[in-house]
Amino acid sequence: MSARLDVDRLHQLATIVRQRSFSKAAEAIGITQPALSKNIRALEKTLGVQLLERGRFGASPTSFGLALVRHADAIDAELRSAMQEVDALRVARVGHTCVGCGPSEATRLLPIALSRLQARAPGVSVTVLYGLNEVLLPMVKHGEVDFAISSIPARSNDREIRHVRLHEDRAAVIVRNGHPILNRGGPITPADLVGQQWILARQNELERRALDDLFLEAGLDCPQVTLETTSAVLMKAVVMQSDSLTFLPRELIFWEERAGLLSALKLAAPSWHRIVGLTLRARAGISPAGRALIDVLRDVGEEFRV
């Protein structure tokens, strides 16, 4: 017979793990420490496993505790979503959604969508959290955001999430206008890029892996990276002020290309396309406000495909 879990105790466990202390967690929750300890012991007895290890330096979760906290975060997110949906349905076209957004999507796609959403549903408010995929994916899974707008894989084996395709973008090697490499005649080959200084995203990002593959397919070693960063703003700033190269989606430099600050190199190699889309929790509901924003994003994405 499966154990029935107390949602309040799951929340208490998650608070202890975040605070790494029974006393601090009890203060945050508003109960006594003995009562909190009793509840956690009862939860451990119900499950028949140890959830926390208590030591001199505080409380740390066991593997069982970590698994339970991950689901507790998702439950909290679903409860928040349910309350938001009830509130939104009470007054039409009113509500709030919190979304994650990648740097390229923050350049044009999301600003256009937000402008249209404001015109359609002025009572909807939006919170946007910014980051690369390595930051956004955990936010989605833990329920910190309703969904993320960023690069998505062509296929995913992660059962916790699902993707919605919006449009495609191309990535390119980016340099400042006036960079010496632009003076070379004809298309540039990967071999021409060997020995250049690079500022790139970290290796688990899709664009970074694509650039590495470009070199490997040409029989060359991967670029030697001078600087790795999760900041697209820093990448662009360094490239504009130096002879460093980077590899970025074209959408991300849309305005800098128009202003004559950055250029995309024409490579004698297949261009890399990335899929832009939404990442959502697989079994999560979306509030009316979130659905309204998704509808607008789909409309804008359709226009970007033309």
- Residues 144-195 have pLDDT tens digits of 999 999 999 888 888 889 999 999 999 899 999 999 999 887 789 999 999 9
End-to-end CA distance of the chain: 56
SS3 237: helix
Closest to 154 in 3D by CA, of 299, 305, 277, 306: 277
At 234-287, the pLDDT tens digits run: 999 999 999 999 999 999 999 999 999 999 998 887 778 889 999 999 888 888
Distance between CA atoms of 223 and 236, rounded to whole angstroms? 18
Q: Are 222 and 244 in contact (CB under 8 A)?
A: no
Name all domains of the chain by residue range, CATH numbers in brackets. 7-70 (1.10.10.10), 86-166+275-304 (3.40.190.10), 169-273 (3.40.190.290)
- Per-residue pLDDT at 250: 92
Cα separation, 216 vs 222, whole angstroms: 6
pTM score of the predicted model: 0.64
- CB–CB of 267/189 below 8 Å? yes
Residue 126 has pLDDT above 70, yes or no: yes
- Tokens for 44, please give them: 């451990």
